Amino acid sequence: MFELPIKEQATKTLTVKPNGRSADYTSPHFLLGCNSECLYCYVHRFQRKFIYKNTNTDQILGIIHNHCKSLGPKIPNQCDPIHHTYDIGCDVDLLYHFKDYDWVKVFDFFNYSDLNIKATFATKYTHKILRDYKVRDGKLRVRFSMLPKYMSDIVHVKVASIPTQLKWMEIAKNSGWDVHINLSPIIVYRDWLKDYDELLMTIKENYNHPNLKFEVIFLTHHEGLHLSNLQNGFERAEHFMWVPSIQEEKISQYGGNNVRYKHQFKSELIKRFKEVFVKHFDEEQIRYIF
């Protein structure tokens, strides 16, 4: 795999989309595409030739401002009890691409807004901005994405280690960031429960804050990405991710034709995961699981 070049444009796609899981809403893209080489990531399914840098930042922020302003009082939900939340990094690892966009301007919009608004993004990396940028009233949330080391070494070409992520979680929290964990994607293999037991134990030993919340997402895969990974020499990763005997077709939230673990089988997987999770954390700390 290789790094895609960045192409500047003024995006015409200025729609705020309902989300309901990672956030209440998904913002228009600031940066579309990602060079973080996660072999399961849906971003790589589109075979783009560029990463698109949307230069009309003020227009995008204006759309978000007007959208939030049109909303009524926030009804507390699993996304956030206080703020209307917007995922600003849905198609990009923001910290990996921090140098490629004026993210501080985006952060400032949320951090200093008089609106009841909050930004959130997931990452597998760390950056000094988590230490240097002081967040007001928890209005910026960073969600650290983690896999057990065994599987991470197989499906991640490059990623921050778990000890590094845990260290920076504490640093970010001390700077006012709202810090969550994204256990995604959960890939099922022989020792997956044992490995998650160890991962959760490590998290608890190094970052045990009562308000810590988790997102838990089981693997969704795609035939096109599967074939692309095989062509690029990632047969071992596909051995674990493409298992037709336990998977079925699924139409995604935005219409894509994907595969996921079979419904009844997945229900059992969720039950077994929760049994491991509650050995270390309260079940109520799971924001959502699917």
Please report the pLDDT score of residue 1 as a whole number. 54
* 206 domain residue, yes or no: yes
* 149 domain residue, yes or no: yes
Domain range for 141 is 6-289
Task: Determine contact, residues 242/226, Cβ cutoff 8 Å.
Answer: yes
Neighbouring C-alpha atoms within 13 Å toward the C-beta of 27 = 31
Q: What is the CATH number of the domain that holds 272?
A: 3.80.30.30
Compute the chain's Rg from CA coordinates: 19
Please report the pLDDT score of residue 172 as a whole number. 98
Pairing relation of β-strands 257-261 and 220-221? antiparallel
* 159 domain residue, yes or no: yes
Please report the pLDDT score of residue 143 as a whole number. 98
Number of structural domains found in the chain: 1
* 1 domain residue, yes or no: no
Please report the pLDDT score of residue 255 as a whole number. 45
Task: Determine contact, residues 219/261, Cβ cutoff 8 Å.
Answer: yes
> Going residue by residue through the chain (290 aa), what tens digit of pLDDT does each one get?
568 999 999 999 999 999 999 999 999 999 999 999 899 998 777 677 899 999 999 999 999 999 999 999 999 999 999 999 999 999 999 999 999 999 999 999 999 999 999 999 999 999 999 999 999 999 999 999 999 999 999 999 889 999 999 999 999 999 999 999 999 999 999 999 999 999 999 999 999 898 899 999 999 999 989 998 999 899 999 999 999 999 999 876 654 678 999 999 999 999 999 999 999 999 999 999 99
Which residues are CB-contacts of 54 (< 8 A; sequence separation ≥ 6)? 9, 10, 11, 28, 29, 30, 31, 32, 60
Please report the pLDDT score of residue 32 as a whole number. 94
3-state SS, residue 86? strand
Distance of alpha carbon 32 from alpha carbon 89, whole angstroms: 9
* 132 domain residue, yes or no: yes
Please report the pLDDT score of residue 250 as a whole number. 82
Pair of tokens at residue 11 = 């995006």
Please report the pLDDT score of residue 44 as a whole number. 73
Q: Which residue from 123, 118, 120 is spatially nearest to 92, judged by alpha carbons? A: 123
* 261 domain residue, yes or no: yes
Q: How many CB atoms lie within 10 A of CB 41?
A: 18
Please report the pLDDT score of residue 138 as a whole number. 95
Which residues are CB-contacts of 149 (< 8 A; sequence separation ≥ 6)? 161, 162, 195, 199
Q: pTM for this structure?
A: 0.95
* 40 domain residue, yes or no: yes
**CA 268 to chain centroid:** 24
